A and B are shown apart, each in its own frame.
Chain A
Amino acid sequence: MKSLVAVLTVLAAIIAFWYAACVPMNIKGVLDQAERAGIEVTPATAKERRDRGEIGLVVNNTFAIGETWVQERPRLPAPHQVAVELWETTVEKKITSKRSLIYHGQVTLSATLLGFAIGTGLGILLAVGIVHSRVMDMSVMPWAIVSQTIPIIALAPMIIVVLYSIGVQGIIPKAVISAYLSFFPVIVGMVKGLRAPDAMQLDLLKTYNANTNQGFWKLRLPSSMPYLFASLKIGIAASLVGAIVGELPTGAVAGLGARLLAGSYYGQTVQIWSALFAAAILAAALVALLGLIEKLVLSRMGVRA
């Protein structure tokens, strides 16, 4: 109960800050509109207002504060505007509609999940190789690290162009970008996890004359589970980012990335923000789902609740 109050307090503070931020962010737009509508504002012309500080404008035109929260194309939309847009484009729109965020969300989600599956599989395989082979440890790990130093926004168009030129398009290029981002946390976490057993545990297996295979399945893999899940949670969020980034350079017509792009083309900030929130909610749901699976798996593995 106490923590619920604390959580709600933080949430309220964030929303209050957001509303407060809308006022100076949108004041110029509001005043321009008011001026065109013949309402007296200080200073009177847009030219004079251009170099004025936003806070000063707010102080001189307090009548306009309410207007900053209901603009049609605000610089910063107010929370309720985003909430209404989210509601309208999810609950009230048919899923087949091009304006439905559910529709765009599932386009992005399918690429995310495919990419996540590829990335996770690749990450685990590489980690197994790295743990068992010194050559792989020295040859793969540096490249894995280097791969993550390249900004994905620079790399994504090239991946799409290269794949397109060999006839691959649609969901695959997006999934490849997702996989590219999500394999890294998995490889790092799994290498750490597979190496988690201490010398004593490895000695114990040696006294049983266990082979490498048995050591892997009976000791290394179970030991790595907590590490794997921590990595998967980072990986799935990275996958979603990858899928969205993959939708940007192609001017894709569907997906949350396409929504973001279209919103920015037409100055539809409310649309951009609601797409952003949809992505955030989707990521949160995916991470929460993984958290649930983690709990189930680990409790079956006897971890104290």
Chain B
Amino acid sequence: MNMEPTTQAIRPEAAASAPVPANCVIEARNLDLTFQTNDGPVHALKDVSLEINKGDFVSFIGPSGCGKTTFLRCIAALETPTGGSLSVNGMTPDEARRNRAYGYVFQAAGLYPWRTISKNIKLPLEIMGYSKAEQEKRVNQVLELVELSGFGGKFPWQLSGGMQQRASIARALAFDADILLMDEPFGALDEIVRDHLNEQLLKLWARTNKTIGFVTHSIPEAVYLSTKIVVMSPRPGRIHDVIDSTLPKERPLDIRDSPEFIEIAHRVREGLRAGHGDD
């Protein structure tokens, strides 16, 4: 693991100064978010600038408190930044939310226990007013996409944790959002299930061509999945490094043993260590 990172293969991105490309979906400029707490202000995000292009798979990685989830929530308009600018699909995040621009997958599957898997996936469709026939069609589509066909009639408790999480991804895919935001979706699952779901997620991404924002704690997961890895550091939450992955789009699981993979993982680890230096 003592390899020197070769900067030709992986080049850091100077996000703030680069011109905005035409296919930029999410753009943050000098984003700040300060929470007022009883113990004084907490800088959750400080001067965060980032561009996410259409079809990107962007992972956010960093220790607890680095603001990776907060940043994702800002994109989803679940938090409101206190400074800087943020646009999603060329709109403010809140407009994008009202236009149902993204599907959000939480750490817990959060399926309604009183609804079957099919009915859970229909939840956003009902709220958005899709016709019954259209709901049915889409449920079958996304169930097939996450390899849960045949489980539509089951209640959540009848499924394993991994299957529940797949169902919650299906729920986020059911409506036409081009952006998929995932907040540590596999954090509570064991390694083997996680590997499998990562593989599936890549396939799904290739098939749907969505733009994915993915928060994780796991270096292998981030490197395996992403086209772009955003390494963040805490107090205040900020971007420490942005790594463009050189891995091919086609990624079998054993790509993780390739020198290229190990190289990128090494750079992520270095970034995490440096960002953590003060404590």
Contact = CB atoms under 8 A, between A and B. Distances in A.
Contacts of A203: 78, 104, 106
A205 B114 contact: no
A304 B155 CA distance: 9
A185 to B, nearest CB: 23
A63 interface: no
Interface in B72-120: 76-78, 97-98, 100, 102-104, 106, 108, 110, 112-116
B114 A303 contact: yes
Interface residues of B, number: 25
B127 interface: yes
A302 interface: yes
Interface centre among A208, A209, A214, A304 (most CB of B within 10 A): A208
Interface residues of A, number: 19
A9 interface: no
Contacts of B103: 207
A239 B126 CA distance: 39
Interface string A178-220: 0000000000000000000000110111111110001000110
B76 A207 contact: yes
Nearest to A302: B155
A77 to B, nearest CB: 49
A301 interface: yes
A301 B97 CA distance: 30
A263 interface: no
Contacts of B187: none
B114 A209 contact: no
A218 B157 CA distance: 19
B152 interface: no
A208 B124 CA distance: 6
Contact of B102 (A200, A204, A205, A207): A207
Given A203-B78, A203-B106, A207-B97, A301 B114 contact: yes
Q: Sort A-B residue pairs by CB-CB distance and give the 3 closest, nearest first.
A: A301-B114, A302-B155, A207-B104
Given A204-B104, A302-B113, 8 more contacts: A200-B110, A201-B110, A206-B78, A207-B78, A208-B100, A209-B128, A302-B156, A303-B113
